A = this chain, B = another copy of it.
Amino acid sequence: MTMDYFDFSPAMMTDMYEYTMLDAALHDGTASRNCVFEVFTRHLPLRRRYGVVAGLGRILEYLKDFKPNESDLQYMHDNHIVSDDCINWLRNYKFHGSIWAYREGEMFFPNSPILQVEGTFGECVLLETLLLSVLNYDSAIATAASRITSAAGNRPCMDMGGRRIHEWAAIAASRAAIVGGFAGTANLAAAKKYGLKCIGTAAHCFTLVHDTERDAFVSQINTLGKGTTVLTDTYNIEDAIRTAVEVAGPQLGGIRIDSGDLATMAQRARKQLDSLGATRTTITVTNDLDEYSIAALATAPVDSYGVGTRLVTGSGCATCNMVYKLVERENGAGQMAPVAKKSFGKATTGWRKRALRSYQYGLAQGELVLAGSQKALDSWKAPAEYGDTKDLLICAVDHGDVDESLMTRDALFAARDYHKAELAELPISALSLSEGDPAINTETLNI
């Protein structure tokens, strides 16, 4: 796309105060203090049982170009946003710090240290807004997707939600849906960018633009082959199915139903298709589906689900309320020291964290968050009572070096597999769709 749209760098997808804080910190010297920031959420949205991390690959992609361009600097200068000293510092900016993070596809719980950034105050503070934007949205979608695919069991779920959310968010949603177990997307840009399976049927307008429904089906089948999926509810579903099988024969690939009581309609459609010999013709249903309506369709003869609005809006919660907090920094004496705010209801825990998940008999028992000095964290050994433990933070950026393997298509599909395996290791209560407590407790230990 042209620069008309995007005459700013990723470094501008940021709240202004990150830059004004940088400016002040450069003048007083604290900009060069070593710091540790952490991303976490205080509670799971809508009292769900678990959250699913997504977006790390996108963050790393942005990070490679996270630097204001000359036009950005000119804008900041002209609008007196920061001083010239600050602009000169920004001209040489590159993130040289390190980032550890929960894998994409990993579960998170209240106070899980989902992402950890270490570097100078100046280089770390600028990342806050963009890190949170990506993690908050992508994780909200992956979490919804995971619940939806759980409810769908072995039936594939397809993302058809692009039209119901901001056009770029739609592309991120297609990606995050994969992490949560979706099989493909209707969105061409997402399919192209991330190498996803692209799917589609036909819209009502295609039937309506033709003089008859039969004309529409003949045209679709002639061009796209008998394996195509026709939309059957423009006029009367029974008539449409009869016509479609007459046109394509029993090899008709599939039908889609987009209105009415889907369970009843699917039952009738299956019976009719079978009676016409189209026993292998699949049934896709769509129409504001979410995890609840899909769970209710478990016994209906449905082959796949197209999920739109409710997927891309996080099924009731389009954000995770993750925050980015300073937890440790160099003091005036050059020593790393814990810091924490005391705001009412929003107090934080100082020190860098180490996160582990504990297992008994292969089943997750708890989220263990250790807070302490680097030395204390490194030397901590889990007492036997915790059973087996697994460290949850992986290194994504090492002193400015981005681990590019985390940005690939393979990494995205690995995240889906990882998520599926992790979900199987949570207590069965994790699969409950009702509101309640997290599937496992988070224990914070100051060591």
Contacts and interface: CB of A to CB of B under 8 A. Distances in A.
Interface string A1-15: 110111111101111
A186 B2 CA distance: 25
Given A170-B133, A219-B27, A8 B204 contact: no
Given A165-B319, A204-B343, A313-B318, 18 more contacts: A4-B65, A15-B187, A17-B186, A17-B201, A17-B203, A20-B223, A25-B209, A83-B223, A121-B205, A133-B165, A133-B166, A133-B167, A164-B321, A168-B169, A169-B169, A209-B339, A234-B342, A313-B317
Contact of A208 (B27, B75, B166, B341): B341
A210 interface: yes
A7 B190 CA distance: 11
Contacts of A7: 192-193
Interface string A311-348: 01100011101001110010110000001111111100
A128 interface: yes
Contacts of A169: 137, 165-166, 168-169
Contacts of A438: none
Interface in A222-244: 222-224, 233-236
Contacts of A189: 8, 12-14
Interface in A405-442: none
B81 A164 contact: no
A15 B326 contact: no
A108 interface: no
Interface of A: 1-2, 4-10, 12-21, 23-25, 27-28, 30, 33, 35, 37, 61, 65, 72, 75-76, 79, 81, 83, 121, 125, 128-130, 132-134, 136-138, 160, 162-172, 186-189, 191-193, 198-211, 215, 218-220, 222-224, 233-236, 258-260, 309, 312-313, 317-319, 321, 324-326, 329, 331-332, 339-346
Contacts of A136: 163-165
B132 A164 contact: yes
B24 A128 contact: no
A19 B201 CA distance: 11
Copies of this chain, count:
2
A345 B4 CA distance: 42
B223 A167 contact: no
A326 B133 CA distance: 36
Nearest to A130: B167
B162 A13 contact: yes
Contact of A191 (B16, B25, B160, B198): B16
Contacts of A81: 188, 198
Contacts of A321: 164, 309
B224 A20 contact: yes
A331 B212 CA distance: 10
A320 to B, nearest CB: 9
A132 B163 contact: yes
Contact of A343 (B132, B219, B260): B260
Contacts of A75: 192
